[in-house]
Amino acid sequence: MTMSLERAALDAAERAGRTAADAPAGVTRAVLDAFSVAVPGSASRVVGQLTEALEVSGAGPSPVWFSGGAALAGDAALLNGAAIHVNDFDDTHDAAIVHCMSVILPAAYAGWRDGRTDTLLSAVAAGTELACNLALARPHYSGWHYTTLLGAMGAALAHATAAGAPDEVVADAVGNAYVHLGGNKQVVLDASVAKRLMPGTSARAGVLASRLAHAGIGGVRGWLGGEYGLLTHYYGSDRNKAEVHGGERPRIDELSLKPYPACRFTHGAIEAALLLRERLGAETAAGLERVRVRYPATDRFGIVVRPFESRGAAEMDAQFSTAFLVASALVHGRIDFESYGPGLIDDPTVVDLAGRVDVVQDVEVDDSAALGPIEVEGSGASITVETVLGAVGRPLGAELARAKFETCRSRAVALGTAAERLPTYDELADALETADGTTLRNLVAGRPRVGTNS
């Protein structure tokens, strides 16, 4: 009997979850990074506005991370997902183009009951596997925002798995999530702050889909291969069914962790610009008459190659503009949280130089999913980044991961979070690595701790 595509996709997710339980390094690394970026995200203005809009009272079964508050499970998943994604500093699966942890981790956490961190990590790996495999099965990169579109299905699976649901309930959870799929890239084109919330909305949708399945409301069964299933209705005839079976290793091990708070597609150009500044010197770099950025000739860079201009929220305009980010890196020698603050985001020198940055897509590559090579050239000198920092072939090492956490923690304190609410990197890492679920819950909940220094 031929296995259905739906069953194959769920089996691949289950295998990834088992692998993570046996070899958790990849998923632990991803979860630690997600908690790192959620620390300042939880204190951001956007998450504060969202909390107000949801009328969160502070009571409920699920913690709103690092705040000391709580909410209903779905609302907590929405807020926690927004906290991870709000600064555009969260992980990306470079080939699938999915920000996995901002959707999967909050949903898994909302369903996690048994207090074993291996249960949580296994559920996160399983949900990530499903979302990424479904994204990789698409025929080409189009107008869908894949984190939002497919994250809900991975979130539903992660929530149900973390809750210890039987196979039939897990399947119904994913089928329920398919009924409500949505999410497109117009929000990016318009530089709308609503983009920050999209992963969280899918996390909440996944929680609801799973809870409906637990209540006995079954989902559609042909969500992948049916007449109006994902492959036909969203992807059309030109798609890669083989990807739903998974790859050589779990997708959780393939996630890229970001060194800069900006659209992942810009990272090679940022690094190359910083290296060019070192070569030319700060004064020469800031005064370049013309800068040329060369990207691979693939369909994924279109969002970031447009001229820099005001389209909506200033920070969004900057984070999705190669011209701005390269100019800011050349002038100030950094891209970090402060790059989008007063005095830097509107620096006339940066804005003027951004207008002289030409961005083209003319580098022929064999791999259409590759983010490199990327070249930045000015004043007769050029720097090429072959493999973008943070990727599988050039991962963010332990020292940089720790430094990223400290940067995020300092940002949260600067935004007004009490230092005693925030864990240290080692505390989080130890709780995850020793399967200490009780300690992890206390750390993430943001309960005040005596003797913590900022």
Residue 346 belongs to some domain of the structure: yes
Task: For residues 150 and 278, state if they share a domain.
Answer: no
Say if residue 447's pLDDT is above 80.
Answer: no
Parallel, antiparallel or unpaired: strands 69-71 and 291-296: unpaired
Query: What is the model's pLDDT at position 319?
Result: 97
For 71-130, the pLDDT digits (tens) are: 999 999 999 999 999 999 999 999 999 999 999 999 999 999 998 999 999 999 999 999
Mean per-residue pLDDT, 372-390: 97
Overall number of domains in the chain? 2
DSSP string computed for 298-324: SGGGGGGSSPP--SS-HHHHHHT-HHH
Task: For residues 153 and 66, state if they share a domain.
Answer: yes
| Percent of the chain with pLDDT strictly greater than 90 | 84
**Rounded to an integer, what is the distance from CA 172 to the centroid of its chain?**
26
Range of the domain at 242: 5-254
Residue 347 belongs to some domain of the structure: yes
Nearest-angstrom CA–CA distance, 173 and 442: 28
Task: For residues 247 and 268, state if they share a domain.
Answer: no
Task: For residues 121 and 215, state if they share a domain.
Answer: yes
Task: For residues 239 and 283, state if they share a domain.
Answer: no
Task: For residues 229 and 268, state if they share a domain.
Answer: no
Residue 142 pLDDT class (50, 70, 90 cuts): confident
Query: What is the model's pLDDT at position 300?
Result: 86
Backbone angles phi, psi at 63, to 5 degrees: -70, 140
Task: For residues 250 and 321, state if they share a domain.
Answer: no
We report the CATH number of the domain holding residue 350 as 3.30.1330.120
Task: For residues 372 and 286, state if they share a domain.
Answer: yes
Task: For residues 60 and 139, state if they share a domain.
Answer: yes
Of the residues 254, 277, 305, the one at which a domain ends = 254
We report the CATH number of the domain holding residue 95 as 1.10.4100.10
Query: What is the model's pLDDT at position 453?
Result: 43
Residue 244 belongs to some domain of the structure: yes
Residue 361 belongs to some domain of the structure: yes
Task: For residues 114 and 245, state if they share a domain.
Answer: yes
pTM, full prediction: 0.96
Which has the closest alpha carbon to 161: 29, 16, 26? 16
Task: For residues 115 and 226, state if they share a domain.
Answer: yes
CB atoms within 10 A of CB 227: 7
Query: What is the model's pLDDT at position 372?
Result: 93
Residue 411 belongs to some domain of the structure: no
Residue 188 pLDDT class (50, 70, 90 cuts): confident
Task: For residues 167 and 241, state if they share a domain.
Answer: yes
Nearest-angstrom CA–CA distance, 85 and 196: 6
Query: What is the model's pLDDT at position 454?
Result: 38
